[in-house]
Amino acid sequence: MKIRLLVFFSALFLSFSGNTFAQAPDDCAITLSYFIEPAKAKNYEAALKHYDKVIKECPKSSLATYQYAVKMFEYFVDEKKDESKLKDLIQAWRLRLENFPEKTSEGEVLTTIAQLKYDHNMGTKEEQFKAFDEAFKKDPANFTSGKSLYTYFSLAVDLFNEKKMELQEIFSLYDVVQAKIDQEKNNLAEKLTPLMEKEEAGTELTEKEQRAKAVYDNNLGVYATVESSVNGKLGQLADCENLVPFYEKDYESKKNDIEWIKAASNRLDAKECETSLSSKLAVRLHELDPSSTSAYLLGKQAEAEGKASRALEYFNQAAELEKDNSKKARIYYSIAENYRKKGSFGTARTYYNKMLEVKPSAGIAYYKIGTMYAESANNCGTTVFEKRAMNWLAADMMDKAARVDGTIASNARAAADSYRQRAPSKTDIFNDNMQGKTVTFNCWVGGSIKVPNL
């Protein structure tokens, strides 16, 4: 009888307790709770006591283990200044990658670890560089930290200065890092451009779009700073005084190496080095491998010799052959500049816009278009008001340049301010009764602009 009553009351108790005891929590759930609960409350001293047991006995139990572990060890390292926990912090990142690879970005983890080693002076410079190199080569798509991109390149230059790397290795890494910066800037500019166009059309952005726009603006600024810092770190190593003799001494031994010729030609061109070597390289490349690159370089050579028409022929050949958007953008820029210098502003704008199609972060294209608009003010209107109104259009172009390319943002903003000062004042708008009206431009510029309301 007693046994039956015991069974009855046990069943009754279980029915009232729902699922709480229907399936008793396993040992890992209990062990994990001892760590997670205090960690959630930021009581990291209490959580730490249970961490080793969790990672030894239940390493795959929950992703939260490593998410909280990282926060915990960051607290000890950054706030408590306990450098002894640095290895634990790195281990927490590695354990997350090992136990939850499908929910973890390898590139982000390896980059974070490399940056931690550098920031805390852990290991030699060679070891620190190797950590960044591993992160970039294993998962370049997720190596997106601007700070880490600069550190990666900076360490390489330091190693070169210590005679532990060759100059050609520095140049090669510079090209890789620069290409990555360009890629990230273009990705951001592609997302920012439609938002700018929406604003220009007079449509108010949603709160979500405003937040996104702020993020894109900020990140473009970060990459502009990184790009400037990388170029600063490269410094005199890539000046013409060093580049020309560096490539001249190897020309005879490398004159059949197509990739070497391309790299040498592109670098001399980027620095606008005036040397007969440029012509020699361009001709040789066209002999070995007629391509977009060789056509472009021959175009630059023709341009330097004052043969503008011949240069355009080569540039157009290069544009047709080129598949790489970054290189195609450079070609379109050269063509646009050729036409701009000849005063063919309409055609120049066409090629600046082609440049923007393949490289949305090319703020220089907006900048040049804005400059042409301002220079055309006296030829684009029948009244003084209409001519001065062109400066609003020029200023808008400068605003775009500043937004998508932080490397020229300061100059672009200054130009925009200058143009707006030349535009019709409030008094002009009132006296001409133009508030809210539209000014149409019938010159090469085309389009129109709405006069601000007073």
SS3 11: helix
What is the predicted pLDDT for the residue at 77? 96
3-state secondary structure 383-429: CHHHHHHHHHHHHHHHHHHHHHCHHHHHHHHHHHHHHHHHCCCHHHH
Give CA angle at 296 (294, 299), nearest 5°: 110
Look at phi and psi of residue 81 and say left if phi exceeds 0, alpha if psi is from -120 to 50, else beta.
left
Look at phi and psi of residue 205 and say left if phi exceeds 0, alpha if psi is from -120 to 50, else beta.
beta
Determine the distance from the C-alpha atom of residue 218 to the mean position of all C-alpha atoms in its chain, rounded to a whole number.
Answer: 11
Q: 152, 133 in Cβ contact below 8 A?
A: yes
d(CA 271, CA 246): 14
| Span between the terminal Cα atoms of the chain, in Å | 96
d(CA 224, CA 295): 30
Backbone angles phi and psi of 450, in degrees to 5: -90, 130
Determine the distance from the C-alpha atom of residue 420 to the mean position of all C-alpha atoms in its chain, rounded to a whole number.
Answer: 30
Q: 357, 377 in Cβ contact below 8 A?
A: no
Instruction: Report which secondary-structure segment, H or E, holds 113.
Output: helix 106-119
What is the predicted pLDDT for the residue at 199? 87
The burial class, CB within 10 Å (0-12 / 13-18 / 19+), for 60 is exposed
What is the predicted pLDDT for the residue at 157? 96
d(CA 31, CA 61): 10
Domain ranges of the chain: 24-104, 121-238, 245-282
d(CA 391, CA 414): 13
Angle at which helix 325-341 crosses helix 363-375, to 10 degrees, equals 10
What is the predicted pLDDT for the residue at 153? 97
3-state secondary structure 329-390: HHHHHHHHHHHHHCCCHHHHHHHHHHHHHHCCCCHHHHHHHHHHHHHCHHHCCCCHHHHHHH
Largest CA distance in the chain: 113
What is the predicted pLDDT for the residue at 26? 65
What is the predicted pLDDT for the residue at 8? 38
d(CA 43, CA 312): 69
In the numeric block, the tokens 């760590």 are attached to 35
3-state secondary structure 15-73: HHCCCCCCCCCCHHHHHHHHHHHHHHCCCHHHHHHHHHHHHHHCCCCCCHHHHHHHHHH
Name the E strands within 80-142. Answer: none
What is the predicted pLDDT for the residue at 15? 38
The Cβ of residue 214 has, within 10 Å, a number of other Cβ atoms equal to 10
Contacts of 248 (CB under 8 A, 6+ apart): 277
Q: Closest by alpha carbon to 145, among 101, 107, 92, 95?
A: 107
Q: What is the pLDDT of residues 288-324, one digit of tens each?
A: 988 888 898 888 888 888 898 899 999 999 998 999 9
pTM, rounded to two decimals:
0.73
Q: What is the signed CA dihedral for 323, 326, 332, 336, rounded to 10 degrees? A: 180
d(CA 360, CA 453): 32
Taking 70 as the pLDDT cut, the residues of the chain under it are 1-26
Q: Which residues pair with 450 in a beta bridge?
A: 438
